[in-house]
Structure 1
């Protein structure tokens, strides 16, 4: 484009020379030349919308000057398409859209310079004015459609890629299930192990798993005349090798972690070379170097990978006593022992799993038994949270339950912060593991990893069990699966605990008034009588009878009478203290048990009750105030009324009879005359 600008400037200069132009016109040419040079520099240096506008304006100014110099001949208007096409190529649709107004300005300027008219009079200029602006807008619109079609194609390609990823995911999931199935079948064949009699007899009386591994290494160390032996197993993630047991020369290696060189192996044909890499690592392990004061010689070491069906179970390594190391015979004997060692490791793993299953079964039994031994739901869940440590070691724990629309922490262990703001009012229906890289990791410190399992009640999530670890290894999928099973059991006992609570409430309360029933009153009465005899503290009984209740039933019906009893029960509960047990004694009679209350206090309470009833207008079932009633109350107290607390109920009944015979609507208290 800069070449075309140069040609245009030369043509303009030649035209000015031929016409012997004035100095002003030559100065204008110089300005146009400087502007064209500046536009070329901007075009090469920057690619911005503002730059495109300046360059396009400069090009149209140059073309307008050429049209003026040529006298506005018709064919010269084609020069106006050159800046437009350059703008389209450089700026796309934006360049085309900008060309429309700038081309109009250029044609108007040319018309003014040539004829002195602001608007062109001839048809050529007018047609170019309309056509060029319209053509510019059309090119801009067409250019915009090109990315839209490309974007659609890209979206279709992305959709196909996502579908392929989904298919691959399903295939991987199916492969995983097949791998698990094959592993289980292989475990069933472990009982067919042969030629391991010597090793099994040496381990026959060993019970503890860790002692079993040590006994195994001691026998092998003696068999190979080695100075040390170590058994390495992969961690849960498979990235590290843990020294599960180490003796002799390798004793300082106990519980040490090493990088697992097989992690990056493409296939198990590389295992011999990887064993050499592992032995080189062992020579430079800091605990061994510090213990022996020098680096071990890899030529004195020997080892074998223990694999089963392509799965790495671990590695066993030996250190030779002789400086020459192990000979080929030792290597062959170790390779021959590998199948038996693999079988023993698998067997010990199975025993460990069985021990875990037994511990889980015992935990489930203990959780079941808690329903009948702990009174409150909070105490029950706190005990459950503590029991979970036996099969799922953790340092922090919480159990949250839904109380209405809110979440409440009902059990906690450790220093886990309040996680309810993270959980919100809705709980996930899926069990989850939150690691150190989780978005909310800073919010559940000091725990580095969390495991959450929902407590389901049908389709509704009623709460969650949350366990956290700080120094212990991170949770894995097997532990998450176990927590889900335990969460289901916790939900089951919660349902039973609520059911037992409901049954207990139904067994101790009156179905009409909601007060305690006669049976519960008798139980508490016997307990308080025994407590009075032992500690000699005062106690009072108040018997309440509704005056004229039969007339209410006869006049208004039994439904209204029942509703009156319900309202009277509410008055009693409102008037008396929470420490005083109010029960329905039978029919229209109520009884109040008042521990630690003497006769004077009981009479004062009875007067409050009688006054509250007299001043209450009771409603009918339609909600209309229509009834005024009174009560007769008999009061007896220990030791004011009798020296035998077991006689209090009888004495209160006697006092009630006196109140009835005396005209009702009164409080009568019996006092010991002795």
Structure 2
């Protein structure tokens, strides 16, 4: 034991040894923070005020206070914390604090306004530092100045508290690392086989909500160097993420551009800019989704209350590790979706294929029936394809089919479904359209194809026409088979004259229906 403590009384010595043992056996830093003020008061009987001002990284503080003979309410405790922060501001500076001798407390002049609040005339401050880490300040106040032996006891207890905090903090860090690793391993195991991006995003947001508060989330995907799209959104009011229409947004001048340039996470970026779907003024966290050094998108998390996300409150490293796990799983889902789409896609004309239409028609009609909205079906048949193939060649015939498919796609909505049903036939499903809308789009497609020539290799113009038949749910049919039958018979009627469009159970179809068993 150092020479300065040789003159301790047996009582003082026993108290110090006992308190040292209690502090060094503490299982967490929180326990030590709470023990520190009471231990100091127990060791030095003439103290009328004791406190531990915990200093977090970034110099945010938390006050653990104990007074003798009076109670401080939570409101006054907040006030006292502010006053002590102001009083000890110079000591909270890392350079100044590390230069203060760590063996003895330093006397601090108490402002007159603070004296009656804490009931002291003399206030002492002991920096609690171990291995160059600043844990806080041990404070003690009295009506009379402390004697030298009391200052030595004060300093000895402060040193013990520093050692105890170093030990518990190191243990807590190991425990946190172990828990974090287990958490990440659990996530990795559960998302490895995920093939549904919507479900994957919902799972990841659930895991993130265990760590930070989230009121809105958005998944942005990069399309190229100039545009990005909003793929999915999520909010507290929704059961699961919503797939959004693939509207394109310019990267230039957006917050996404900043993430791309910095390739790092952003918390409440100071740069001006808005993001689709994310409420203005909310607390914002932007996570770059990087895999194999390539940026694929950005996951935006927000909370309705501003400044909820701060560098000292958000476990950014853990969240970034979760984003790193999410990114390859997301790419795997997108690859699966693309392969699935290609299996349902006719690459020669750029539309869905027959198998996809056969699956989609009953599903769309069932949905229309369940949600009480209409459904239009349009069948389009190219006129005289055989003549074109024989007069020119099959390559020109294929070009003509692709030409027709492109015009159809340009003249329907994003929500409409265009499929190649057969060799020279296309089928279009139009959810929610009106009867008048079905008439208009039928005529619009017919006229656009008729008026738009195919430019051949020799710059000759080849004009083609189509015949169209349509049916409308619920007026024309009660089920998907009947809807297709009505549209097909309407097509047969229009093909008699070619370059025409017929819709539904018109009077001209009664005889045709009878002939076909309708």
1:590 aligns with 2:426: yes
Cα displacement (A) at 1:291: 0.8
Distance 1:657 1:442, change over 3 A: closer
Superposition map of 1:505-516 within 5 A: 505-516=341-352
**1:4-29 Cα deviation digits (max 9, x unpaired):** xxxxxxxxxxxxxxxxxxxxxxxxxx
Q: 1:231 maps to which residue? A: 52
Cα drift, residue 460 of structure 1: 6.2
Q: Which residue of 1 aligns with 2:102?
A: 271
CA distance in 1, matches of 2:182, 2:111: 41
Partner Cα distance (1:563, 1:466) in 2: 43
Measure, in 2, the Cα distance between the counterparts of 1:600 and 1:243. 69
Residues 288 and 365 (structure 1 numbering): CA distance in 2 closer, same or farther, change over 3 Å? farther
Q: How far 1:566 moved relative to its partner? A: 0.6
**Aligned equivalents of 1:356 and 1:364: distance in 2?**
12
Residue 242 of structure 2 corresponds to: none
Q: Describe the shift of the 1:513–1:330 C-alpha distance in structure 2 as closer, same or farther (beyond 3 A).
A: same
**Match of 1:213?**
33
Q: 1:609 to 1:276 in 2, by over 3 A?
A: closer
Give TM-score, length-normalised by structure 2: 0.61
Displacement of 1:398 in angstroms is: 11
- Cα 1:464–1:583, aligned 2, differ >3 Å: closer, same or farther? closer
- RMSD, aligned CA: 5.9
Instruction: Give the aligned partner of residue 65 of structure 2.
Output: 246
| Change in 2 beyond 3 A, CA 1:516/1:224 | farther
TM-aligned CA distance change 1:454 to 1:358, over 3 Å: same
**Structure 1 unmatched runs, 5+:** 1-193
Secondary structure of 2:421's aligned partner: strand
- Corresponding residue of 1:342: 163
The residue that corresponds to 1:642 in the other structure is 477
Change (3 A) 1:419 1:244: farther
1:297 is matched with which residue? 122
The aligned counterpart of 2:172 is 351
Deviation at residue 568 of structure 1 after TM alignment = 1.0
Deviation by residue 1:206-263 (Cα, 9 ceiling, x = unmatched): 8xx75663256446644655654322344536xx694542222596444742222784
Give 3-state SS (helix, strand or coil) of 1:642's partner: coil
Is the alpha carbon distance of 1:287 and 1:508 closer, same or farther for their aligned partners in structure 2, counting shifts above 3 Å?
Answer: farther
Q: Aligned in 2, Cα 1:404/1:353: closer, same or farther, shift over 3 Å?
A: same
Q: Verify the 8 A CA contact 1:547 1:664 in the aligned structure 2.
A: yes
Q: Secondary structure at the match of 1:540?
A: strand
Give the C-alpha shift of residue 514 in structure 1. Answer: 1.7
Task: Number of aligned residue pairs: give it.
Answer: 446
How far does the alpha carbon of each residue in 1:297-338 deviate from its partner, in whole angstroms, 9 at most, with x for none?
A: 35xx5x755443454444434456x96857848945972784
1:561 pairs with 2:380:
no
Q: Answer yes or no: is the 8 Å Cα contact 1:433–1:475 preserved in 2.
A: no
The answer as to whether partners of 2:44 and 2:150 remain within 8 angstroms in 1 is no
- 1:652: which partner in 2? 487
CA gap of 1:433–1:398, structure 2 versus 1, over 3 A, is same
2-side partners of 1:287 and 1:618: how far apart? 90
With the length of structure 1 as denominator, give the TM-score of the two structures: 0.49
Q: Retained in 2: the 8 A contact 1:543–1:633?
A: yes
Query: Does the CA contact (< 8 Å) of 2:23 and 2:160 recur in 1?
Result: no
SS of aligned partner of 1:545: strand
Describe the shift of the 1:389–1:572 C-alpha distance in structure 2 as closer, same or farther (beyond 3 A): same
Q: Structure 1 residue 316 and structure 2 residue 152: aligned?
A: no
Unaligned residue ranges in structure 2 (runs of 5+): 1-17, 236-250, 274-279, 511-517
Contact 2:376–2:430 (8 Å) recurs in 1: yes
After TM superposition, give the deviation of residue 666 of structure 1 in Å: 4.4
Structure 1 position 502, deviation (Å): 3.7
1:177-576 matches, within 5 Å, as 198-199=22-23, 210=30, 213-215=33-35, 217-218=37-38, 221-222=41-42, 225=45, 227-236=48-57, 242=61, 244-248=63-67, 252=77, 253-254=80-81, 256-257=84-85, 258=88, 259-260=90-91, 263-264=94-95, 270-272=101-103, 275-277=104-106, 280-281=107-108, 283-284=109-110, 288-292=114-118, 295-298=120-123, 305-309=127-131, 311-319=133-141, 328=149, 331-332=152-153, 335=156, 338-339=159-160, 342-348=163-169, 350-351=171-172, 354-355=175-176, 358=179, 372=196, 374=198, 390=211, 404-406=224-226, 420=253, 428=261, 475=311, 488=324, 492=328, 495=331, 499=335, 502-503=338-339, 505-534=341-370, 537-554=373-390, 556-576=392-412
Q: C-alpha displacement at 1:431, in angstroms?
A: 5.3
Q: Deviations over 1:174-224 (max 9, x none)?
A: xxxxxxxxxxxxxxxxxxxx99764577x66x8xx7566325644664465
**8 Å Cα contact 1:313/1:342 also seen in 2:** no
Q: Does 2:454 match 1:618?
A: yes
SS in 2 for 1:671: coil
Deviation at 1:485, TM superposition (A): 5.2
Q: 2-side partners of 1:506 and 1:607: how far apart?
A: 30
Q: Which residue of 1 aligns with 2:6?
A: none
For residues 642 and 471 of structure 1, the distance between their equivalents in structure 2, rounded to whole angstroms, comes to 56
Offset, 1:616:
3.9
Per the TM alignment, residue 425 of structure 1 is displaced from its structure 2 partner at its CA by 8.9
**Aligned 1:2-81 pairs, distance under 5 A:** none
Aligned partners of 1:268 and 1:310 also within 8 Å: no
Secondary structure, aligned partner of 1:544: strand
Structure whose alpha-carbon radius of gyration is higher: 1
Q: Determine if the alignment matches structure 1 residue 630 to structure 2 residue 465.
A: yes
Q: Whose helix proportion is higher, 1 or 2? A: 1
Displacement, 1:591?
0.8
Q: In 2, distance between residues paired with 1:232 and 1:618?
A: 81
Q: Is the 8 A contact 1:599 1:637 kept in 2?
A: yes
